[in-house]
Amino acid sequence: MSDMKDRGHLLTEQNNPNSQNLDELSTLEMVDVFNKEDQKTVDAIAHCRTHLAQAINLAAASLREGGRLFYVGAGTSGRLGVLDAAECPPTFCTPPEMVQGILAGGAAALLRSSEALEDEADSGGKAILDHKVTKRDVVVGITAGGTTPYVHGALQAAKQRGAATIFIACVPAEQVPVDADVDIRLIVGPEVLAGSTRLKAGTVTKLALNILSTGVMVKLGKVYGNRMVDVAVTNTKLRDRAIRILRDLTELDRAAAGALLDESDLQVKVALVMHLAGLEKEAAIAALQSTDGNLRSALASAKK
């Protein structure tokens, strides 16, 4: 392992004056310190609102044209990317390849820390090649401290292949400049436990990824109002949610909503078009296909 220059100047590595006596606090005092510091994550998101909106628009435009969204990271940052990607198929019924997480060290690093792998810029670049990233794709590099070589290697390779790039870090741009299409800086200050970026930095990153992926899916027509109408009905809980969505939007009773869901082959959007537009299943499917799956547009078209 080669020595790198001192990283002590980075915001994520500095000491937090509000927790300097952390080991001397009572348990309740310690919890209060965490709570007070964690409140900064919401302010950091508000500060980045325009950049998050840009990222949503960029990713939605790419995915609408058949592109893919990749999250790339190491350690906590990478695991958060994998988590967000894994949650898209059940929530929005997306194919697994549409949103993917690339983690330094692969699947094994999800369960056992492989932090040394983050130093390998070439491995980040190779991961981009292995996933056959193209100019239609979007690559999001996630690194709390902003310096992770694996992430920078991946972003460089992505740019060389013409992909759009988004950078997410918790240090100011002047500390770690980067060339990306969208540069999101989630500034939450030093951690309660100095340098432990699984804390505030991890929390604010989770918030940002939630907003990014959900915003993209809204733009892609996966949401109607604030309902996840593309939910994959794969278990009892999700069937119950699907039935409740149908009840709320159609005023059917539970039994009728359940029957409608079954008639649609467990496709909530199809069920809604069938009921609200008075169409048979195949016609409802065709109406949705004609609007790229946008329920609101399909209903408007079918009712004309």
Query: Per residue in 109-121, pLDDT tens?
Result: 887 776 656 677 8
Domain 11-219 has CATH 3.40.50.10490: yes
Region 1-17 average pLDDT: 74
Query: What pLDDT does 6 receive?
Result: 66
Q: Indicate yes or no: pTM above 0.95.
A: no
Supply the CATH classification number for the domain 236-302. Answer: 1.10.8.1080
Query: What pLDDT does 160 receive?
Result: 97
At residue 177, does pLDDT exceed 60? yes
Q: How many Å apart are CA 7 and CA 145, to the nearest integer?
A: 9
CA nearest neighbour of 168 among 195, 206, 220, 198: 206
Q: How many Å apart are CA 151 and CA 153, to the nearest integer?
A: 5
Query: What pLDDT does 109 receive?
Result: 82
- List the catalytic residue out of 13, 37, 118, 120: 118
Confidence of residue 304 (pLDDT cuts 50, 70, 90): low
Query: Per residue in 160-175, pLDDT tens?
Result: 999 999 999 999 999 9
Task: Let me know if 191 is a catalytic residue.
Answer: no
Q: How many Å apart are CA 151 and CA 149, to the nearest integer?
A: 5
Q: How many Å apart are CA 70 and CA 98, to the nearest integer?
A: 8
Q: How many Å apart are CA 211 and CA 55, to the nearest integer?
A: 10
Q: How many Å apart are CA 262 and CA 254, to the nearest integer?
A: 12
Is residue 209 within 8 Å of residue 192, measured between CB atoms?
A: no
Please give the angle made by the CA atoms of 90, 39 and 75, to the nearest 5 degrees.
55
Task: Let me know if 118 is a catalytic residue.
Answer: yes
- List the catalytic residue out of 13, 37, 65, 87: 87
Confidence of residue 3 (pLDDT cuts 50, 70, 90): very low
Region 126-133 average pLDDT: 97
Query: Per residue in 255-297, pLDDT tens?
Result: 999 999 999 999 999 999 999 999 999 999 999 999 988 999 9
Query: Per residue in 188-233, pLDDT tens?
Result: 999 999 999 999 999 999 999 999 999 999 999 999 999 989 988 9
Query: Per residue in 58-110, pLDDT tens?
Result: 999 999 999 999 999 999 999 999 999 999 999 998 999 999 999 998 888 88
Where in the chain do CATH 1.10.8.1080 domains reside?
236-302
Is residue 288 within 8 Å of residue 298, measured between CB atoms?
A: yes
Where in the chain do CATH 3.40.50.10490 domains reside?
11-219
